[in-house]
Amino acid sequence: GRGGAGAACPCCFIVYVWTSLERQESEVSCERVDVRRAEPVSCIETTVGVVIKGTERRWKWRCNDLSQLKYAWVLLLDVRLLWYAVMDSALLVVVAIAAVVGGLNGSGDVDSCRGWSIAVIVLMCIQLLVLLYDQPFTSLFANVHAALTLALTCLSTAFQLAFLYESSSNSVSLLWLIEASAVCGLIVVGVSGLKTLVDLRDVVAACRRRFAMLQTLWTRLECSEYFEQ
């Protein structure tokens, strides 16, 4: 359906970027960057320093001609291992397909829903282990955000699966499983909102840099016109 096609588009783009950079392996690389900061002198500076250090990108892509990477810069700013990004987007496609297939037989087919839920949980657990081992993102915050999102989504799906297994008993006491699943979903929304704020900060910083460059260029043009006169 439309959900599967919508999830497949980012996957195709990431595969294209990955294969393109693999062909330019000698010219493009992702290198670790160590940034030294001044020692904090107060608790506030320490807290701010920890936040900045967590959101700071520790890996950066290098290329002889950076213009070659502009089309994929949004992806490369956050991801250092493109094969993981392919796996992540492929899992989204699988989840979208599972949601469609699981709903084809109607709400009465509980066994089908259970089977697809178990498959999704297993895949997400495998992805979480890969994420924790390889840390495929360029910043510590991005790795923590992805790990929390995956872990909470696994928990939420597990609570729903447990409710499906126990739903035949019609016990009111089982409603806590649905509530726990909803709480996990709300926490995921909150964590994703925090990630959005960090991304907005990066956008504002990038706009400020571009504005400063334009201002410098304009000043140079004015100076050159003045001396020509």
Q: Is 228 among the domain residues?
A: no
Backbone conformation region of residue 66, classed left if phi is above 0, alpha if psi is from -120 to 50, else beta: alpha
- Token match 């807290």: residue? 47
From the number of C-beta atoms within 10 Å of its C-beta (0-12, 13-18, 19+), residue 203 rates as exposed
Distance CA 191, CA 144 (A): 10
Q: Is 61 among the domain residues?
A: yes
Q: Is 49 among the domain residues?
A: yes
CA proximity to 133, closest of 116, 152, 146, 122: 146
Q: Is 68 among the domain residues?
A: yes
Q: Is 225 among the domain residues?
A: no
Indicate the number of domains in the chain: 1
Range of the domain at 170: 2-219
pTM given for the model = 0.79
The tens-digit pLDDT sequence of the chain (229 residues) is 555 566 677 778 888 888 888 777 667 878 888 766 656 556 766 666 666 777 788 888 887 766 667 778 888 888 999 899 999 988 888 887 777 766 555 555 667 777 888 888 999 999 999 999 999 998 888 999 999 999 999 999 898 888 877 766 555 677 788 888 899 999 999 988 888 888 888 778 778 877 877 777 777 676 665 555 5
